[in-house]
Structure 1
Amino acid sequence: MKITRLAPAAALLAVGALTLSACGGSNGGSNGGGEGGEGGDSGSIAGTLIGGGASSQESAMTAWVEGVKGEHADLTVQYDPVGSGSGREGFLNGQYSFAGSDAAMDDDEKSQAESICGPEGVFHVPAYISPVAVAYNLPEVSEAVKMDADTIAKVFTGEISKWNDEAIASQNEGVELPDLDITVVHRADDSGTTENFTEYLAAAAPDSWTHDVVEAWPSDIAAESAQQTSGVVSLTNSTEGAITYADASQVGELGTVAVGVGEEYVEYSADAAAQAVESAEQAEDGSVELDRDTEEAGVYPIVLVSYHIYCKQYQDQETADLAKAFATYVVSEAGQSEAEGAAGSAPISAGTRDAAMQSIDAIGVQG
């Protein structure tokens, strides 16, 4: 990566409004551990860390919440999968000590964060890398349906409304596509997955996707909607002919589109997603900028980079220690392996881990 300036549901507990100072537990130590989560005394970290945000991370978060106890038995993490926008809002309101988000904070949000985190503000850890699948419900079609970027854009804007439309059929010779209406399903809530998906459409199909890059689906596109990742997947599962976009780890038995990239069609995979991120540029705040209209062979371009957003300085030592310990575990080889097994995500590279650890190790307390 180039560096430039630029859980089971029961384990994921919804929490009420809390101040950051209330999110720290007792007996917090001063050592959050070194890289890989092996540098600290596991008995020195104790308490509850509260986070909330991206539902795309739900499966991985369950694994991290359980896995971190192998490093710090008395560290409890509660995470509320309310969606990226609500997670960042909760962080800025002092409800969460860290936010999970499929989109980086914008300049206004980073400015607002100074009221919580102090003048040094926040940083982003690209903790979770996953393909965003274009998933559909066509029980009689066994092959992955092929679509280039323009076709995907026209389907989601409603310009293409039948599965056997010539634009789709011409890319799927030998596949019997049904004479069936396409039902587009999108996120009803503000969503980082929506932002990642529309960012791809805007970059790779600018003539067909004339809308902005948005977290809230354009209101002038007639379509069905549902809350959070689980909602759009459930609605698509129950509606024959439906199509949606969702974190690939949660699409289950739905069919998925092989996306046109250059002269080939690429099905989603962790490796293909990792290739997209490896060549991305990383900004000083830890966020990355992806090449959405790449033509590089083997790259899956609809990639979700989901962040954990932390304060550079917390209001008390206990919360700083808890955040540092959890953040260290998440980016460790063990933590990334746990997420890969639970969610099929792509482990971050060594370069990404090293850059993240520089910021994590520097977490401190406001003076």
Structure 2
Amino acid sequence: MKFKNVAATGAVLVTVAIALSACSSSSTTGSSTTAAPSTTAAAEATSAPLDASLTGTITAGGSSAQANAETAWITAYNAQVKGVTVNYDKSQGSGGGITNWLAGSYDFAGSDSPLKADQQTSAQTLCGTGGGLNLPVYLDGVAIIYKLDGVTKLNLSTETLAKIFSLAITTWNDPAIAADNPGVTLPSTAITTVARSDGSGTTQNFTNFLSASAPTVWTAPASNTWPITGNVSSQKGGSGVVQAVGAGSGTIGYADHSAIGDATAATINKVEFSQDAATAAFAAGATTVPTATGDLSQKFDYSKLTGTDVYPIPLVSYQIVCSTYKDAKQAELTKSFIGFVASTTGQKVAAKNAGSAPIPDEMLTKVLASLATVK
């Protein structure tokens, strides 16, 4: 199965018309524009009107999964707020993003996993007693990509996937893989797994899934650092994994689906990734588990992610902000940008350009409510 993702190639398709779609029938006061209420718009999550007079710079970074969405969000946001520069460094990965944010280098961090308990404690030094807020703004899935000569369609069950990545299965013609793919001729090629070398929320999500869904096979811990050593090719960033899989033979790896470009992706339990399947996974299995007042950390119950229309390895990514900023100006700029990201319009921009699934409006409304408490 081939994914064609134009955003992954760096082409941003967002247009001013799309960016301003929430304001197409609007009333204007000063430099701010807000959509006039309608039956359709009433159900949408709308942020505070964007203040086009804002100026300044937002510095952020982290999740490489968010990279294509960030590019599109920044472009769309700057179509309305031209005086604010938003710099997002995707090279850090989720782990580096959180580390730099805790050090005070970033105004917000992008992360595919929420703050851990010790990180939330550390955040109180930066953000006051309220700590940090994990705000879910990006919904996608972990894609399993491979390169195997002569095999253009591949299905992997959860248990087989766990055996491959734990190195219990070492050749492509293993009986377990054959059982998942009746009628497919599989070569005896050795399997090389490709994993992230950096601290990665994508790794955290993937190992969360393996640990919860195949605990008798996957006995390694769920972690944001890859826990298996041996015949593993370690690569920095999702793009590094995708490049290594594509350059190899008999390779298999994992990455956020928006990053995989033209790579061939396996179906998991016969389910192909789609935006609808990711949305169905969020609806079926996501629960809010807050770590602080206003926090919206999500936890998946993978036992509920079954059926042919539910993607079994969803990925929710966050923008992590302070509950209280030391610099009121940076708080204002950050709230403005993330308010756009967490609006229905912002989610449509990401869906069009990164292929992500929009966060449900009910959750976006909660995100905007939490963002409104930031000082």
**What TM-score results when the alignment is normalised by the length of structure 2?**
0.85
Deviations, residues 321-363 of structure 1 (Å, cap 9, x unaligned): 1011011100111111111111110001011111101111111
Q: Are residue 181 (structure 1) and residue 190 (structure 2) matched?
A: yes
Q: 1:325 aligns with which of 331, 336, 341?
A: 336
Q: Are residue 59 (structure 1) and residue 68 (structure 2) matched?
A: yes
1:56 partner SS: coil
Q: 1:283 aligns with which of 289, 305, 326?
A: 289
Q: Are residue 97 (structure 1) and residue 97 (structure 2) matched?
A: no
5+ unaligned residues in a row in structure 2: which ranges?
Answer: 1-6, 13-31, 36-44
Give the Cα separation in 1 of the matches to 2:244 and 2:352. 26
Tell me the equivalent position of 1:316: 327
Please say which of residues 308-317 and 171-180 is displaced more in the overlay. Answer: 171-180
Q: Are residue 302 (structure 1) and residue 310 (structure 2) matched?
A: no
Q: How many residues align?
A: 334
Q: 1:129 aligns with which of 120, 134, 139?
A: 139
Deviations, residues 91-132 of structure 1 (Å, cap 9, x unaligned): 000010100001110111011011111111111111111110
Tell me the equivalent position of 1:24: none
Shift of 1:142: 2.2
2:304 partner SS: coil
Within 5 Å, which residues of 2 pair with 1:335-354? 335-354=346-365
1:33–1:325 CA contact under 8 A, matched in 2: no
1:266 partner SS: coil
2:316 partner SS: strand
Give the Cα separation in 1 of the matches to 2:89 and 2:11. 11
Counterpart AA for 2:274 = S
2:48–2:339 CA contact under 8 A, matched in 1: no
2:166–2:228 CA contact under 8 A, matched in 1: no
Counterpart AA for 1:146 = N
Tell me the equivalent position of 1:79: 88
2:126 partner SS: helix
5+ unaligned residues in a row in structure 1: which ranges?
Answer: 1-6, 12-30
1:32–1:328 CA contact under 8 A, matched in 2: no
Q: 2:273 aligns with which of 268, 271, 285?
A: 268
Q: Are residue 247 (structure 1) and residue 243 (structure 2) matched?
A: no
1:55–1:228 CA contact under 8 A, matched in 2: yes
Shift of 1:9: 7.3
Counterpart AA for 1:267 = E
1:77 partner SS: strand
Tell me the equivalent position of 1:117: 127
Give the Cα separation in 2 of the matches to 1:179 and 1:54. 36
- Alpha-carbon distance change, 10 to 152 in structure 1, aligned in 2, over 3 angstroms: closer
Please say which of residues 278-287 and 95-104 is displaced more in the overlay. Answer: 278-287
2:306–2:312 CA contact under 8 A, matched in 1: no
Tell me the equivalent position of 2:234: 225
Give the Cα separation in 2 of the matches to 1:118 and 1:10. 40
Deviations, residues 252-288 of structure 1 (Å, cap 9, x unaligned): 222212111xxxx211111111111123111232110
1:127–1:308 CA contact under 8 A, matched in 2: yes
Give the Cα separation in 2 of the matches to 1:296 and 1:253. 27
- Alpha-carbon distance change, 306 to 274 in structure 1, aligned in 2, over 3 angstroms: same
Q: Are residue 68 (structure 1) and residue 68 (structure 2) matched?
A: no
